Amino acid sequence: MVEPKGTGLGAPLGLGVVGAGRFTAFCLPTYQALSEVKVVAVADPDVARARTLAPPGARVYADYGSLLEDPDVAIVVISTPPCLHGPQVCDAARAGKHALVEKPLATSLEEAGRAVRASQEAGVKLRVNYVLRHHPLHRLAREMVRSQALGDLQHVWLVNLATDDGLPPGHWFWDRSQSGGIYVEHGVHFFDLVNQLVGALPDGVAGGDQRRPDGRVDRAWAVVRYQEGVLATFYHGFSRPRCIERTTMGISLSRGEVVLEGWIPTRLELFGLVDEAGVAALQALVGAQLVVRTGDGPEIEVKARIEAPDRQGEYRRAVQASLRDLVGAIREGRSPEVTPADALASLAVAWAATHAGAAWTSIPRITDAFPTSGEPL
């Protein structure tokens, strides 16, 4: 591996960003606020846009290859359409650059495998930017599940009612050859979260989708089965106005339930029946926000509502935490929190959900099975 400049302990690592789209516009000020890195280069075929987003002093390139030749770039942040992720990770590895790649790692398992192998062979670190891993409410939910205060995990459900604002018919999002489809481009975040909640990989997936009259797939569903007795169900739809978007994730346990509201969640609610040890475990996690009501029997009713109202702030902090984790992995010689194996596992679920299909069985009419006097049912 070619050792880039500025990798000494304490010195900020040079950051090169490829892709000057909307997410980069959101992330660049967030990156600039970190002392661990310095944005030194931005690359995009739209040079004018790249110049608009690049911080003062950063170099602007019209192509990715030129950015990879920049000796001051130690880490490449890949924020391009998904079909480019796998090949661009491979190119970064060959150039001796560490990589933080937006989800998904690639649009196929074959390309993802090549990206992981290239990074391993080059001795560089690779991390997928699963920012939800770092959100405090998702972390809290994971700790609640692991505490078993509310019993065994049984079912996880996700309903994502998203907007198609900003996604015109010609956008790459609708082209599966570029995006990989809804589950590969978008759902991998949640497949990764559920894999972490269960602590194991699933053994079965079913899925399907629905299309608009013009052929665009805008809704998709999946059912994922885990050997540990956990079932997870997912629905993603991209058909709502932005003002009424809604994302809800429910975690059902044998003694209660945890529900998170929001794509970047702003609220977590829990309720359940626990014993004294369960009360103590939950109080250790949420403190005085836990409401406890005892009754005549041994069971204790609990509930709590935890708010995280600074949605944009939590999003920025999660983006920063993801990059900080990669920097720590580089400097400490460890794996990042989201390992290449994690990225491959979530992509495998997304790919299976996209391609599994489902066999629909017609339901007989009730009147066929149970003839009546002719009155309508």
Residues near 98 by Cβ (< 8 Å), separated by ≥ 6? 74, 75, 76, 92, 124, 125, 126, 326, 330
In a domain, 7, yes or no: no
CA Rg value for the chain:
23
In a domain, 184, yes or no: no
What would the two tokens of residue 9 be?
């302990």
Does residue 8 register a pLDDT over 70?
Answer: no
For the ranges 37-51, 279-293, 353-367, the lowest mean pLDDT is seen at 353-367
For residues 104 and 350, the answer to whether their CB atoms sit within 8 Å is yes
Packed helices 136-147 and 188-198: angle between N→C axes, nearest 10 degrees: 30
What would the two tokens of residue 353 be?
């959900």
Fill in the DSSP letter of residue 215: S
Q: What whole-number distance in Å separates Cα of residue 63 and Cα of residue 214?
A: 34
Which of 94, 4, 2 is CA-nearest to residue 40?
4
Provide the percentage of residues in the chain whose pLDDT is more than 90.
86
Q: What is the mean pLDDT of the chain?
A: 92
Q: What whole-number distance in Å separates Cα of residue 48 and Cα of residue 62?
A: 9
Q: What whole-number distance in Å separates Cα of residue 196 and Cα of residue 34?
A: 27
Question: For residue 369, what pLDDT is reported?
Answer: 53
How many residues are present in the chain? 377
Tokens 């059912």 -> residue: 223
* Structural domain boundaries enclosing 23: 13-131
Question: For residue 289, what pLDDT is reported?
Answer: 96
Model pLDDT for residues 292-330, shown as the tens digit of each residue: 998 777 889 999 999 999 999 999 999 999 999 999 999
**For 288-295, what is the mean pLDDT?**
92
Question: For residue 17, what pLDDT is reported?
Answer: 98
**For 170-193, what is the mean pLDDT?**
94
Tokens 């106005």 -> residue: 241
In a domain, 201, yes or no: no
In a domain, 30, yes or no: yes
In a domain, 334, yes or no: no
Work out how many domains the chain is built from and give that number.
1
Which of 138, 118, 116 is CA-nearest to residue 128?
116
Q: Given pLDDT bands bounded at 50, 70 and 90, which one contains residue 5?
A: very low
Buried b (16+ CB within 10 A) or exposed e, 313-325: ebbbbbbbebbbb
**For 30-35, what is the mean pLDDT?**
96
Supply the CATH number for residue 102's domain. Answer: 3.40.50.720
What would the two tokens of residue 334 be?
């460890």
Cis peptide before 104 (omega within 30 of 0): yes
Q: What whole-number distance in Å separates Cα of residue 302 and Cα of residue 288?
A: 12
**For 83-112, what is the mean pLDDT?**
97
Provide the percentage of residues in the chain whose pLDDT is more than 70.
92
Question: For residue 79, what pLDDT is reported?
Answer: 97
For residues 28 and 52, the answer to whether their CB atoms sit within 8 Å is no
Question: For residue 356, what pLDDT is reported?
Answer: 80
In a domain, 84, yes or no: yes
Q: Which amino acid belongs to residue 114?
A: R
In a domain, 89, yes or no: yes
- Rounded to two decimals, the pTM is 0.90
Does residue 6 register a pLDDT over 50?
Answer: no
Q: Given pLDDT bands bounded at 50, 70 and 90, which one contains residue 228?
A: confident
Using alpha carbons only, what angle is made at residue 210 by residues 215 and 198, rounded to the nearest 5 degrees? 135
Q: Is 183 helix (H, G, I), strand (E, B) or coil?
A: helix
Q: What whole-number distance in Å separates Cα of residue 345 and Cα of residue 192?
A: 8
Model pLDDT for residues 206-223, shown as the tens digit of each residue: 999 999 999 999 999 999
In a domain, 101, yes or no: yes
Tokens 């983006």 -> residue: 319
Does residue 374 register a pLDDT over 80?
Answer: no
Question: For residue 298, what pLDDT is reported?
Answer: 82
With the CA atoms of 132, 136, 142 and 143 taken in that order, what torsion angle do they form, in degrees rounded to the nearest 10?
A: 160
Model pLDDT for residues 324-373, shown as the tens digit of each residue: 999 999 999 999 999 999 999 999 999 999 988 655 555 565 555 555 55
Does residue 376 register a pLDDT over 80?
Answer: no
